Every structure is written in C-alpha cells, then in structure tokens.
Amino acid sequence: MKITRITTYRVPPRWMFLKIETDEGIVGWGEPVLEGRAKTVEAAVHEMSEYLIGQDPARINDLWQVLYRAGFYRGGGILMSAIAGIDQALWDIKGKALGVPVYQLLGGLVRDRVKTYSWVGGDRPADIIRDIQARVDVGFDTFKMNGCEELAVIDNSRAIDAAVRKVAEIREAFGNKIEFGLDFHGRVTAPMARVLIKELEPYRPLFIEEPVLAEQAEYYPKLAAQTHIPLAAGERMYSRFEFKNVLAAGGLSILQPDLSHAGGITECMKIASMAEAYDVALAPHCPLGPIALAACLQVDFVSWNAFIQEQSMGIHYNKGGEVLDYVLNKADFALENGHIKPFTKPGLGVELDEALIIERSKNAPDWRNPLWRHADGSVAEW
Ligand SMILES: O=C(O)C(=O)C[C@@H](O)[C@H](O)CO
Ligand SMILES: [Mg+2]
C-alpha cells in the first residue's frame, strides 16, 4: 500500500481534519491542530507530506521517526501537532486495513468503559452552579472549569477570595456528590499559585491543572510539597522528552498530553507508559473535535493508568461547530453517566461526514483566542 494524497480541511469551530489517501482506496483521518495556529500547522503538515507521498502507511514507527528527526529541528507545538494528526491518520489506515479498532493493535482493552468529564463555565465562569446542575441532570458527576480569572503577577486578597468563593459555592451546592478539576490555565504565577492552592485545599478539587505555566515546570515539585491536591499538566508539553524531565523532577500526579499536540497515538502511548512507571495517572487533554477524542479514547482503552478523559461536547469554545456535527456514527459516542464504551469499528472508530467537512471548510473561521490585558494595560494570560 502507498500513500497517494494528503488533504487538510480547516473547519468550524477551530479544528483541522487531515485526510490521507492510499493506492488501495483505504483512507485515514487525523486532527492536526494547535488552537489558534491552524494555518501554521496546516503549512507544517504539507511540508511534511514530502516525506509521506509514495511511502507505505503501515510503517508508522519509521514514518514517525522520519517526521520527527529528518528536519533537524524538532519538538514544539506546531511540528508535534502536525506529526500528531498524521500519526492518527496512519493508525486509522492500519486499523481499517486489518479490520480492527486501533486498541486491538495496541494490545487490547484494559477496561470496559472510559469515564469522561465535562467543561462548565466559560472563560470567566459565571452561572457555574446552573451549568453543573444541567450536566448532573444528564448523568455527569465530574467537571472542569477555569480556576480563576486573570491574576496579576502578585494579586490581592479580593482576587483570591473571588476564586475560592466560587469553589465554596460549588461544594455548598453539591457536597461531594460531584468532583471537579480547576484549570489555572496558565493564568497563575508561581507566587500566586502558592497562595491560591493553600486557600483551595479545604475544598478538595479533584486536581489543579496547569498550576503554573509549562515553562515554570520546576515549580511543580515545590507546589506539590505544600498541598494534598493532585497537580495536573501536559497540554502544553509536546513530546516524551519534555514529559521525561517533568516525571523525573516529580510534582505532577496527572499527565494530560494532548493527542493532537504531543505527536499522536505513537508518542502518547510512550508518555502513558512513562507515567505509569512513576505511578502518575493519565488524563489526555482534548478540547477538540471527534477525531482527536477518538485518538484519546484508543489510548485510554489500553492504558491502565488512564483515569478520566476530557471531551469538548458543550465546551464554551465550540461556537459554530460541535463534536458530533461531523460524525455519522454518533451513537458510538453516546455518553452513559459520563462514560463512553469502546468503539467497535476498524481504525479510530469515527465515520465522518466528508461532504459536510468539505462544505464547512469553504469558509472556516481562523479562530484566535482573545488577547487579555490587565487593568494597567499589560498583557494578561488568557
Ligand atoms: O481544555 C483545556 O484544558 C484548556 O486549557 C483549553 C485550552 O487548551 C484551549 O483549547 C486553548 O485554546
Ligand atoms: Mg487546560
């Protein structure tokens, strides 16, 4: 079998789908995207296609190493997202060629269903109680929300109290019938993380995500030493070589590699195994579309230390497009009390509405996250 063509489709709300065609008629799909940099990743995918056209798609490991090493420069969000989507599509082809779901090629199921969580609240969580109740009513019991609004490098007690009050209200309304992760979203500096985590300790969030920015990873063990709350990170780390350093230094209880940013299934399987060796849990990051989610689930189905999966149905970013819009086999993505069952179809398990993808790609928005500024005019972390 030989790869014959690579096509990319940027689609609403902010995703990009990749189609790899072969001379035997089998097609694989992937989702190479870095939110807000879709066009840059698209250029990277097409630059990399020079290494792929005419090649045997079955040689996923060799193609992955070529894409990672052949260009001399490596790593980072753009290149590793391009590789991620290509890798997903190659696994999709291999599963379809052999007539089995990808997880069968990775050693088979380690669990019968995967627990997911739902985002609630938006960039500035308001009406959070109402949002949670709406999802509790349909069976969810685990959620994630932004842990705070923008914070200054050193902020005041009012800002800290506002963040803590929201969490206190959630616990007051729902007790321990629900769990929630708090995503600091990189908005919190190391000094403020110490203060905010201390004040949040009594409310026992399930985890605190990106307690500091990935470039401040040396603070993970220091922050972990002051709290019992599990710390999580990973969406802005792009290869096993970055996760290696974080695992060796300690501090993270949960790794959140993004299957569309960290090199795809091939790379994230290695990251999952490394995490297990350090007794660290896996919770793949996925605020993206259906192909990214399917790739995450294939890894969750075979990774013992995977404990929960992010999915973006109803997330505040999905304006103009929802996860299942492009999916024909919607029933396979059914959530029963927040859990999803293993896919049965070959490959990644997603059957796509290609006509709709092509149609919506004709005027896809070039999504950007907002540029926030503090009251003094300085740039704020969004
Ligand atoms: O889902 C998460 O955990 C996020 O932090 C969302 C963030 O990754 C946005 O997708 C960036 O545009
Ligand atoms: Mg996050």
Q: Whose CA is nearest to atom 7 of ligand 1?
A: 287
**Nearest alpha carbon, ligand 1 atom 12:** 35
Residue with tokens 């009390």: 337
Residue at 375 is within a domain: no
Minimal-distance CA residue to ligand 1 atom 5: 185
What are the beta bridge partners of residue 15?
11
Q: Which of 91-105, 114-128, 181-195, 283-297 has the lowest mean pLDDT?
A: 114-128
Phi, psi of 285, deg, nearest 5: -80, 135
SS3 26: coil
In a domain, 371, yes or no: no
- On whether both 124 and 218 belong to a single domain, the answer is yes
Q: Give Cβ neighbours of residue 158 (< 8 Å, ≥ 6 apart).
A: none
> Which of 101, 134, 149 is the C-terminal boundary of a domain?
101
Residue 363 lies in a domain: no
Same-domain pairing of 287 and 159: yes
In sequence order, what DSSP letters do the residues of 99-156 get, joined into one string?
TSBHHHHTT--S-S-EEEEEE-S-SS--SHHHHHHHHHTTT--EEEEES-S---SS--
CB-CB contact of 30 with 264 (8 Å):
yes
Let me know if residue 379 belongs to a domain.
Answer: no
305 closest CA partner among 264, 271, 265, 336: 271
Q: What is the number of the ligand 1 atom nearest to the C-alpha of 35?
A: 12
pLDDT at residue 126 in the model: 65
- Crossing angle between the packed helical segments 264-277 and 60-69, to the nearest 10 degrees: 90
Q: Looking at the structure, tell me whether residues 239 and 282 fall in a common domain.
A: yes
Whether 61 and 116 share a structural domain = no
Q: Are residues 52 and 110 in the same domain?
A: no
Bridge partners (DSSP) listed for residue 231: 208
317 Cα to the center of ligand 1, angstroms: 9
Q: How confident is the model at residue 99 (pLDDT cuts 50, 70, 90)?
A: very high
In a domain, 360, yes or no: no
- Report residue 94 as tokens: 């291999």
Report the nearest-CA residue for atom 11 of ligand 1: 35
Counting from 1 in the atom list of ligand 1, the atom nearest the Cα of 36 is 12
Q: Which two tokens stand for residue 130?
A: 């109402």
- The Å distance, Cα 287 to ligand 1 centre, comes to 6
Average pLDDT of the chain to the nearest whole number: 97
Percent of the chain with pLDDT over 70: 99
The verdict on 199 and 63 lying in the same domain is no
| Per-residue confidence (pLDDT) for residue 274, from 0 to 100 | 98
Q: Is the dihedral of CA 248, 252, 258, 259 positive or negative?
A: positive
So what's the pLDDT on residue 125?
A: 63
- State yes or no: 209 annotated in a binding site: yes
Domain with 83 in it: what CATH number? 3.30.390.10
Overall average pLDDT of the 239-245 stretch: 98
Q: Does 266 reside within a domain?
A: yes
Instruction: Find out whether 376 is annotated in a ligand binding site.
Output: no
Q: Are residues 155 and 58 in the same domain?
A: no
Q: Which residues line ligand 1 (CB under 6 A)?
A: 35-36, 183, 185, 235, 285, 287, 310, 317, 369
Write down the pLDDT at residue 124. 73
- The answer to whether residue 279 is domain-embedded is yes
Length of the chain, please? Answer: 382
Query: Among 101, 120, 141, where does a domain finish?
Result: 101
- In contact, 71 and 37? CB cutoff 8 Å: no
Hey, what are 377's tokens? 């005019």
Nearest CA to ligand 1 atom 1: 287
How would you classify the pairing of strands 15-22 and 3-11?
Answer: antiparallel
Neighbours of ion ligand 2 (CB under 5 A): 183
Identity at 180, one-letter amino acid code: F
Residue nearest to atom 2 of ligand 1 (CA): 287
pLDDT of 24 higher than 70: yes
Assess whether pLDDT exceeds 90 at residue 341.
yes
pLDDT above 90: residue 205: yes
Q: Examine the domain organization and report whether 95 and 124 are in the same domain.
A: no
Taking the centre of ligand 2 as the mean of its atom positions, its distance from the CA of residue 127, in whole angstroms, is: 20
User: How confident is the model at residue 122, as a pLDDT?
Assistant: 76
Distance between Cα 70 and ligand 2 center (Å):
31
pLDDT digits (tens, 9 = 90+) for 133-159: 999 999 999 999 999 999 999 999 999
**Tens of pLDDT, residues 153-192:** 999 999 999 999 999 999 999 999 999 999 999 999 999 9
Split into its structural domains, the chain has a count of 2
Q: Is 336 annotated as a binding residue?
A: no
Q: What is the CATH number of the domain that holds 195?
A: 3.20.20.120
Structural domain of residue 222, as residue ranges?
104-346
Which of the four pLDDT bands, split at 50, 70 and 90, describes residue 314?
confident
Q: Which ligand is nearest to the CA of 288?
A: 1
Q: Write out the catalytic residue numbers.
A: 185, 285
Q: Are residues 163 and 57 in the same domain?
A: no
The band of 100, judged by pLDDT with boundaries at 50, 70 and 90, is very high
Give the mutation target among 16, 31, 34, 35 for probing the ligand 1 site: most ligand atoms within 8 A of CB: 35
Ligand located closest to 309 CA: 1
Ligand 2 centroid–CA 158 distance in Å is 24
Q: Which two tokens stand for residue 148?
A: 């705070």
As a whole number of angstroms, the distance between CA 281 and CA 303 comes to 10
**231 and 145, same structural domain?**
yes
Residue 50 and residue 122 in one domain: no
- For residue 117, the ligand closest to its alpha carbon is 1
Give the pLDDT score at 316. Answer: 85
Residue 244, domain member (yes or no): yes
270-296 residue pLDDT tens: 999 999 999 999 999 999 999 999 999
Q: Which ligand is nearest to the CA of 123?
A: 1
Rounded (10°) angle between helices 38-48 and 77-98: 60
Ligand 1 nearest-atom number relative to CA 185: 5
What's the gap in Å between 312 CA and the centre of ligand 1?
10
Residue the block writes with tokens 């990106």 = 210
Which atom of ligand 1 lies nearest, measured to the CA of 256?
Answer: 3
Which runs of consecutive H residues, i.e. helices, occur in the chain? 38-48, 60-69, 77-98, 102-105, 128-136, 157-174, 190-200, 220-226, 240-249, 264-277, 290-302, 354-361
User: Are residue 128 and residue 70 in the same domain, yes or no?
Assistant: no
Mean pLDDT over 203-228 rounds to: 98
Q: Is pLDDT above 90 for 121?
A: no
Contact by Cβ (8 Å): 32, 45: yes
Q: Give the pTM.
A: 0.97
pLDDT over 70 (residue 80): yes
Give the per-residue pLDDT at 188: 98
